[in-house]
Amino acid sequence: MTQKIRKAVFPAAGLGTRFLPATKSSPKEMLPLVDKPLIQYSVEEAVASGIESILIITGRDKTAIENHFDISFELEQVLQERGKQEMFELVRAVSDLAKISYTRQKQALGLGHAILQAKDFVGDESFAVLLADDVIDAETPALKQLIDVYEKYDAPVLATMQVAGEAISRFGVIDAEEIEPNVSKIKNIVEKPKFDDAPSDMAVIGRYVFTPELFDAIERSETGAGGEYQVADAMRILLDEGKPFYAVRLDGVRHDAGDKLGFLIATVEFALKRTDLAPEFKAYLKSLNL
Ligand code: G1P
């Protein structure tokens, strides 16, 4: 029996430079996709995948995230006084979503360093990591797809998708051998390779299930791409030591909502799925003389 994955870590200390000036004083994780902040989508995905306890790694100017998942006493009181029961329930449900705690990453030294801040929270359990920028629209929650593979092979798993052309350089990229449809055993991983050096077209997307061995590997790793501690480098240490790692090609659509164009596309896609908005929004889009 594998250990149940109960804990999830959300690195959210990044500066959000791809979305300036909107992210100058408010976190990119709070950018609204239709009417929910980005991070709420992946928190809901984690909960739907069986996660019971969440640690969000924050940094300066990130208090809006904590406030969002907390009870808003004044707002709730006003909504109740005005008889807006449905809205009251909507805002209360956000604070009831999951058990969430927070820790600060004092310096932005990379994804590996961010995850390392979760060492005490995780203890000796296997755990999930979700990057909230990657909003994944999938019938089976993306993290659940990884957990199913973790349970089958009793080893860490990450999510991938195929990326064509030069864009591959924006991702971690794996070299892997397919062992069953959509599941591969990873041989190597490189963070943000040049197009010519990319070992394949299989890009890593922001969902992982790790064993606690990862922390020791991060501590042993050196700074890599961008002068930062990369989780991919820590993974390569474990791979070189013969530790197994698996990759799941996700069944679903991934949006890079931390990028301006990706965010716009995600907004349109999600709005078109909303029964309260879609008819008028679709009519508007059709009226555009593009
Ligand atoms: C991170 C990871 C990278 C992965 C990407 C997916 O990079 O380091 O391996 O491909 O997320 O979104 P970032 O986009 O934070 O630079």
pLDDT at 2: 78
Q: Please report whether residue 1 resides in a domain.
A: no
CA of 96 to the centre of ligand 1 (A): 29
Q: Please report whether residue 190 resides in a domain.
A: yes
Q: Please report whether residue 2 resides in a domain.
A: no
Best residue among 190, 204, 236 to mutate for probing ligand 1's pocket (most ligand atoms within 8 Å of CB) is 204
Query: If DSSP codes are grouped into helix, strand and coil, which group holds residue 245?
Result: coil
CA of 128 to the centre of ligand 1 (A): 15
Beta carbons within 10 angstroms of residue 119's beta carbon: 16
Strands 36-37 and 157-162: unpaired
Phi/psi zone of residue 262: left (φ > 0), alpha (ψ -120 to 50 degrees), beta?
alpha
Instruction: List residues near ligand 1 (CB under 6 A).
Output: 111, 131, 133-134, 171-172, 191, 203-206, 230, 232
pLDDT tens, residue order, the chain (290 aa)? 678 999 999 999 888 889 999 888 889 999 999 999 999 999 999 999 999 999 999 988 789 999 999 988 899 999 999 999 999 999 998 888 899 999 999 988 999 999 999 999 999 999 999 999 999 999 999 999 999 999 999 999 999 999 999 999 999 999 999 999 999 999 999 999 999 999 999 999 999 999 999 999 999 998 877 888 999 999 999 999 999 999 999 999 999 999 999 999 999 999 999 999 999 999 999 999 88
Best residue among 170, 202, 249 to mutate for probing ligand 1's pocket (most ligand atoms within 8 Å of CB) is 170
CA of 205 to the centre of ligand 1 (A): 6
pLDDT at 52: 96
- Whose alpha carbon is nearest atom 10 of ligand 1? 171
Distance CA 131, CA 134 (A): 6
pLDDT at 286: 95
CA of 233 to the centre of ligand 1 (A): 12
pLDDT at 25: 87
Best residue among 129, 146, 171 to mutate for probing ligand 1's pocket (most ligand atoms within 8 Å of CB) is 171
Instruction: State the pTM of this model.
Output: 0.95
CA 232 to ligand 1: nearest atom: 9
Q: Please report whether residue 180 resides in a domain.
A: yes
Q: What domain count does the chain have?
A: 1
CA of 245 to the centre of ligand 1 (A): 17
Specify the CATH number for the domain of residue 32. 3.90.550.10
Contact 161, 250 (CB under 8 A): yes
Residue 245: give the domain boundaries: 7-285
pLDDT at 64: 93
Q: Please report whether residue 290 resides in a domain.
A: no
Q: Please report whether residue 28 resides in a domain.
A: yes
Q: Which of 59, 216, 191, 48 is nearest to 130 (CA)?
A: 48
- Whose alpha carbon is nearest atom 9 of ligand 1? 172
- Whose alpha carbon is nearest atom 14 of ligand 1? 171
pLDDT at 283: 96
CA of 250 to the centre of ligand 1 (A): 16
Q: How far is CA 69 from CA 30, 57, 147, in A?
A: 11, 14, 25
pLDDT at 116: 96
CA of 259 to the centre of ligand 1 (A): 12
Q: Please report whether residue 178 resides in a domain.
A: yes
